[in-house]
Amino acid sequence: MHFQHSNFLALAALSSIGPVLALPTFSQLVPRAQASIDLCGDYDYIILQNSPWIVYNMLYNAAKMVGTQCTYYDKMTTSSSGTQEVLWNSETDIEYIESTNNVPKGYSFVGLTQNLEVTLSSIGSIPTTYDWTRTNTTAFKGNVCYDFMTNNIKGDSTSNSSRELMLWLQYEGGQLPIGWGKGPSAIIDDLFGTSWELYEDVNTDTGITVSSMLPNTQFEGSFSGDLKDWLLALVALGKFTEDTYVNVGNAGTEFFYGNAIMNATLALQIDIGSTSH
């Protein structure tokens, strides 16, 4: 949720260009029924029981949006390898308006609710698979990404000492990350099968520094890996240490305008314990 790409993260956090908003703590959230559901309100969500996830429709710039945006929770399944997954989609029908075409309207995502607010050093791995297809009936501007928040303060994801970390998998329509005008601050080679450019700057809406990694070769509908490798790559660049707390983690899609449906299947979890890297 940054501006030019910033999404907040929501308890689960967010991503590009949008402002980060203060969300309720999980103890304040009231679980809803587990039936399939369309989440179309500005901050509609469902906490998935017996899972590590919350599904969230976050429209932090709804006032600048003409149209509709819904996040549909379908169901949870188990893959052939025994991994728990969530099936969901993002249904975007937002009119293109010249004056707001570069303003992200929100973030549709699945966020973690378990094993957060722990130090990076205590995490063994963050395994994930993310598969998606997007069908556009008009020009669309937006991305597919992961969005995490770290801070040396446990549980803090809103103060300017926080750092928002974005891993863009695919993007279209001319979306640019915060810090684009400065050029990349670093190049990360050989991570998840490609090289990455790192863009950084402060999100003026939140005061939080956003670090966005964009792939040299975009992922076309499928990604898998251990996201701890991403965080360790930033440690190697001196952005923070392994003593930092991972306070928020999620995967989703940012949207600016267009008529599109993105169907997705996601597995994402944080495993505590030792794993060699």
- The string of DSSP codes covering 3-55 is TTTB--B-TTB--SSS-------GGG------S-EEE-STEEEEEPTTSSEEE
Domain that holds residue 40: 26-272
Split into its structural domains, the chain has a count of 1
- Residue in the structure block whose two tokens are 């660049």: 237
User: What is the pTM assigned to this prediction?
Assistant: 0.89
Say what the pLDDT of residue 2 is: 44
Say what the pLDDT of residue 275 is: 57
Residue 150 belongs to a domain = yes
Residue 8 belongs to a domain = no
Say what the pLDDT of residue 6 is: 41
Residue 73 belongs to a domain = yes
Residue 4 belongs to a domain = no
Report the C-alpha gap between 122 and 248 in whole angstroms.
Answer: 15
Residue 45 belongs to a domain = yes
**CATH number for 115:** 2.60.120.180
Say what the pLDDT of residue 30 is: 54
Say what the pLDDT of residue 34 is: 79
pLDDT average per 10 residues of sequence, the chain (277 residues): 42 40 48 80 96 98 98 95 96 98 97 98 98 98 98 97 98 98 97 98 95 98 98 98 98 98 98 73
> Buried (b) or exposed (e) across 204-237, using 16+ Cβ within 10 A?
ebbebbbbbbbbeeebeeebebbbbebbbbbbee
